[in-house]
Amino acid sequence: MKDIFNISKLIIKKKLKILSEDEKSRLKLFREEYPFSKTVDYEKIVQKISDYAAINKDAAWKSILEKSNSKNIPSVISINRSWYKYAAAASLVLLFSLSYFFLNKETTVKNPVAVNPTIEIGNSKATLTLEDGSKIALEKGTHFVKNNVSSNGEHLIYGASTKSTAKIASNLLTIPRGGQFFIQLADGTKVWLNSESQLKFPVAFNDGELRKVELVYGEAYFEVSPSTAHKGSKFEVLTKKQTVQVIGTQFNIKAYNDETNIYTTLVEGKVAVSIPPNKKQLLVPKEQSDFNLLTNSINVSKVDVYSSVAWKEGFFSFRTMPLKEIMKVLSRWYNVDVTFANKKLENVKFNGVLRKDQDIKEILTTIQTTKSINAYEVKNGKIIIK
């Protein structure tokens, strides 16, 4: 871990043009030994991460120089809101370097077990159900065009309606385990859907009338077209017993069928979360509401926005998250069941940011390297944590 932090600092100093000759030599040697590091587009990564990070140069540099001192929670990569853009770059250097570094260094990993190669990395795929009940499979390499909708297999785009109508058809977009998808609704609203999710939506909207969609289950990130562009039409998202009323904003809703809580995280703008019987909770940016379906109660707290929406940008971000919850996230993305042979490990907490395009073997080995788990194996298509 020490070497990874040092290399991260060297890359930051290179960006700041303050590398000494000795440091230049060390960085050159590292890149010669690990050529994959030359292919990372740091500027692009910095831009994405900086969207969610406050810029504070002094706090950032201090954070970079300090290593994690936590003895109870293993920490792979932490992204703090106070870090500025080069701190974000450091985190991502760790991210891209970590699995390669540990897997290629002469480090002994306790009880390593190979993962069945049939466990595939998730990708863009979905099923579109039309008003007449017909189903269209959408995946990379396929194309679909009908009326005002088109798809290249990786996203679905609905064109704006040119005339108002009394009856508007609804479609259903279903994302399986191991999938994700992007859809642009007819009003211009953009929606990113995570694995094992389903969205019901109208194929057109009438300006001046309420725009309403339903997140039947799963997780979705919404970038809502503002009401000012639609003659004041407000936007609502229904999820089970909860309604999110929107004026024009970006937010994330997590409402899986196998979970008893609905989490709504506001990135920017303004929303009102309504639950029965008549309770309404306003959210401001960087706040998250936690609606408990069993107790019908709702709590609001400040959160690290990046951790809640990292999935949309192609990353897993785990902040002091129990392994049981982490494995639930991984099982959805890799479409594989996970069981714990040692139940005590379910509550072990882990900090880390990992790429979604990594083989699951790399993910599990990284977690294992932090000593969060002792070993794992694949048996009958299932991952067993020991």
Residue 95's CB is within 10 A of a number of other CB atoms, namely 25
DSSP 44-90: HHHHHHHTTS---HHHHHHHHHSPP--SSS-BS----TT--HHHHHH
Which residues sit opposite 219 in a β-bridge?
A: 254
Window from 16-20, 289-293, 365-369 with minimum mean pLDDT: 16-20
- Give residue 70's pLDDT: 44
- Please tell me the distance from the alpha carbon of residue 162 to that of residue 205, in angstroms, as a whole number: 10
23-64 pLDDT, tens digit per residue, is 777 777 766 655 555 555 555 545 544 444 443 444 444 444
Residue range 185-233, pLDDT digits in tens: 999 999 999 999 999 999 999 988 999 999 999 999 999 999 888 888 9
Name the range with the highest mean pLDDT among 105-109, 114-118, 223-227, 290-294: 290-294
pLDDT in tens, 253-269: 999 999 999 999 999 99
pLDDT per residue as tens digits for the range 144-186? 999 889 999 999 999 987 666 768 899 999 999 999 999 999 9
Q: Please state which of the ranges 127-131, 202-206, 381-385 shows the lowest mean pLDDT.
A: 381-385
Taking the C-alpha atoms of residue 137 and residue 240, their distance in angstroms, rounded to an integer, is 26
Q: Is 205 helix (H, G, I), strand (E, B) or coil?
A: coil
- Domains in the chain (CATH in brackets) are 2-104 (no CATH), 123-307 (2.60.120.1440), 314-385 (3.55.50.30)
* CA distances to 229, 312, 364, 376 from 361, in Å: 47, 22, 5, 10
pLDDT digits (tens, 9 = 90+) for 297-332: 999 999 989 899 999 999 999 988 999 999 999 999
pTM of the model: 0.73
Q: What is the Cα–Cα distance from 224 to 236, expressed in whole angstroms?
A: 10
Query: Distance of CA 274 to CAs 283, 286, 355, Å?
Result: 11, 18, 34
| 339-369: b (≥16 Cβ within 10 Å) or e | ebeeeebeebbbbbbbbbebebbbbbbbbbb
- pLDDT at residue 2 above 60? no
CB contact at 8 A, 78 and 8 = no
In the predicted model, what is the mean pLDDT of residues 117-125?
A: 86
